[in-house]
Structure formats: C-alpha cells, structure tokens
Amino acid sequence: MLRFSSSTTFDAWLDERYGFADGHLARLERTATDTVTVVLEEYRQRGWRPGDIAIVDSYELIAEQAELDAPTSHNPTDVLESVETDESGERIVIEFTLGAQLIRLRTTGLNIRLAGTERRRTTPWVANEFTVHTDRTHDDQFWASRVSTILDMPAVWRTLGGREARAPGLDPDGCFLQKAALLSTTDQGVFYTRFREHRSTWRAWHRDIEPDLWHAVRLVATEFAQIHTGNCVFNSADWATFVATNTFPPDERLTGRPTSTG
C-alpha cells in the first residue's frame, strides 16, 4: 500500500505508468461519507488485434476527505485521455478526462494498492472510418456512381461548404461525397482522403451525414478484398455481413493474418 499526500509525489507515480493514457477508469464511487474509491486500469501489454491477449494492471485508489465533481455515471470501457494533478490549499486535485467528460476529485490524501492483474481478450471494434486499397479504376466517378445506385439518387463530390457539385474527373482527395439534394443545406458529407501506396480512407465524423449515405459508402467497400477499420481487418464477405447486421465474424478472421484451413 502506497500513500500520497502531495500532488508532486502522486504525479511522479502517475508518470511511471504513463499517466494511464489509453487505460480505463474502471470504477468510481463514494464508499463512505468522505471517501471515494477509484480503480484505474493500465495496459502493461497491449493486445492490438481481436483475440490478442492484453495484460492489465488494476490499481485501487482510496481518496480520503474527498470531494467529487463527476457526472452521475460514466462508461468504464471509455478510454482515459489523461489524468492531471494539481494542488489547492492542502488538497490534491485530480482531473480525469474521458472524451467530453471531465471528472474532478479533491482529496487530502490517497492510499493506493495494486488490486490485481488480468489477462484480457482484445475485443473487436470499428471506427467511423475505413481504409481500402484502391487503383486507378477507383476514381471519383467510381465512388459517386456506386453510391448513387445504392441510394437511388444522385451523390456528388463537393469541397468544404461548396454549394455546387464538382465537375467529373477531378481529383476527389480531400473532398466530400454528399447527396446532390443536400448541397444547399449542408457543408460537408463523407470525407475522402487518398494516401500513397493506393490507400483510400473514408471518414464520417460530422453530424450532417445522413445514415443512409454512410451506409451506402460502406456497402461499396464490399467490392474490395480487405477493409481496415478500428482494430479489425475485414474480408469482403465479412464486411458485407457486418454492415448489414452489425455482427462480427470470429476473431481469427479479423486480424489480417492468414487463417488455417486445416
């Protein structure tokens, strides 16, 4: 059991664990009138692909004479972006950042212990983007025509905030694909970037993207041998199933590694 009564020594302890960056705030609760219990998870060994085994250390922090400023609930699987420390009077101030959530804890002292070490299977996850390997045939008209057919309405290329469709044949790198009918009322669409080595990435990170447009773009990706997203590498058939049902295939088919057929 370790005890900390200043932010300086506690901050040094955090630094030894890289500030729990990309870890988890697994537990946060008031366990007595003036005591708050926090459980932080640190990945000692990462499992990057689905099915890989990660080694996770869990640390229990008991904050005494504590004041807690936090949302009514948080998702324990959310990734910790940072743990920052400061002092206010005779109190240690700790701020946990999880996406848009900020949790602030003030305490006169901390008792910390290693609560356990766990071997944990890495689960599959997808991002609001995907990457495929393309060639010259996958130009601006390939994508626009395929998406238009799926939607049964015109989809066109536009620049950021552009109110008119771009002329066919122009390089779509750094542009957006959007329904033609929405050019006058939106500024973006699904964003397209082309990298070296014939890699093309589609991103849906703006609130004005209609779900059926993003769905159509993802359906077009079934024409490619591999689709990279999140920690997964899908083959064409598995991607089609995932887009239709939101169901993952077995882990071994999501690693991008050859699978045994024996």
Give the residue-averaged pLDDT of 8-27: 94
What is the spatial distance between Cα 192 and Cα 202, in angstroms, rounded to a whole number?
A: 5
What is the spatial distance between Cα 54 and Cα 160, in angstroms, rounded to a whole number?
A: 41
pLDDT band at 77 (very low <50, low <70, confident <90, very high): confident
260 has a pLDDT exceeding 50: yes
DSSP 8-state secondary structure symbol assigned to residue 253 = G
So what's the pLDDT on residue 113?
A: 97
203 has a pLDDT exceeding 80: yes
Are residues 220 and 150 in contact, defined by beta-carbon separation less than 8 angstroms? Answer: yes
CA distances from residue 76 to 36, 73, 100, 120, 260 in whole angstroms, order as listed: 16, 9, 14, 15, 35
pLDDT tens string 163-172 = 999 999 999 9
So what's the pLDDT on residue 237?
A: 98
Are residues 147 and 217 in contact, defined by beta-carbon separation less than 8 angstroms? Answer: yes
So what's the pLDDT on residue 23?
A: 94
Predicted TM-score (pTM) of this structure: 0.80
Are residues 230 and 131 in contact, defined by beta-carbon separation less than 8 angstroms? Answer: no
Average pLDDT over the chain reads: 94
pLDDT band at 31 (very low <50, low <70, confident <90, very high): confident
What is the spatial distance between Cα 97 and Cα 114, in angstroms, rounded to a whole number?
A: 22
Numbers of helices and strands, H then E, in the chain: 4, 16
Give the residue-averaged pLDDT of 221-226: 98
pLDDT tens string 132-176 = 999 999 999 999 999 999 999 999 999 999 999 999 999 999 999
Give the residue-averaged pLDDT of 48-75: 93
241 has a pLDDT exceeding 80: yes
261 has a pLDDT exceeding 60: no
Query: Which one is predicted more confidently, 136 or 59?
Result: 59
Give the residue-averaged pLDDT of 90-105: 93
- Judged on CB neighbours under 10 Å (0-12, 13-18, 19+), 184 is exposed
Q: How many CB atoms lie within 10 A of CB 132?
A: 22
pLDDT band at 259 (very low <50, low <70, confident <90, very high): low
